[in-house]
Structure 1
Amino acid sequence: MSSLPLPPLKGFLEFAVYSAQNSDKDRVMALIESCYQEHGDQIILNGDDSDLLNLEGNYRGRAGEFIIVEDQQQTIVGCHAVVPLDQQFHACTFKRLYLHKSLRGLGLGQALMQWALDWARSQGFQRVEFWSDTRFERAHKFFLKAGFLTENTTRKMDDGIQPYSEFFFWIDL
């Protein structure tokens, strides 16, 4: 169990929500690895996934937050994070929105997104920007439904086991 409990996500009292600690990293990586494997990918700790080695420093240490969602067996089944991008322009980025495959489509992802939007607003952010792997088509529909905008601008990445591209999304709060 993680050490910093947070209020439950609205409508999901059966799940515990915690502020992630470094001691949670192996369980967080297990969730993310399972999501990556759905797309033939894997975690690369010396690449884009290096932030997972120090959850506290890379998130709360940068004035952000990383939350995890545990089921009743204390398995991490979801996570989401927010990190400031530019304090001058009141912008932040969302990272690490992952949900166990068996829980998608039930509203838990929406609750995680609402947590992140509420947290960003409470910290004075006025805009959220992020990039998302082009292979995560279901997630892109989810982002658009949540009010995010995109121009289908892409960037090419080569920090995984295979090259990939990402779409840019944003929302003004």
Structure 2
Amino acid sequence: MEDLGVDVSTEMAERFLADRGHGVLSLANEGVGYGIPLSYGYDALTDRCIMQFVTGQEGRKREFLETSETVTLATYEYESDGTWQSVIATGTLRPLSNDEVADRAAAIFFSQAANADTHTRLAAEGAETEWYALEIETLVGRESATGDEPLTTLE
């Protein structure tokens, strides 16, 4: 029988989101979905995820960023023993001003985001960086269960 898992508390979901630093951001444009694997930093004080996008002049990413009203960030972990955890954050993306980036956003991103090496991110010729915040409206998490008891791996 498939393990459908159990809900986790908001606090556990927030901790997992903060610990991961990477996930898949799902965007949409006229009914077409687009998933972007990315790194992020979770700002617990303002309940948002900070993201730095590196885009080219003609990339699909820019098109989808401009047209997505509601976005979803999914992050998960699957262990070889079959245990798993996942968190889904849903909300809106908004561009960050240079002042916001300089104030705290960049520090949060670079301290928590997985694989956030600045030199590698800017190596592509003609690449531009843009900063966004995912303003979280809903946050849900689930984890695998053994019998009726939830695992404690998120604590």
Query: TM-score normalised to the size of structure 1?
Result: 0.25
Query: TM-score normalised to the size of structure 2?
Result: 0.27
Task: Report which of the two has the higher share of helix.
Answer: 1
Task: Report which of the two has the higher share of strand.
Answer: 2
Q: Which structure has more RCO (C-alpha within 8 Å, separation ≥ 6)?
A: 2
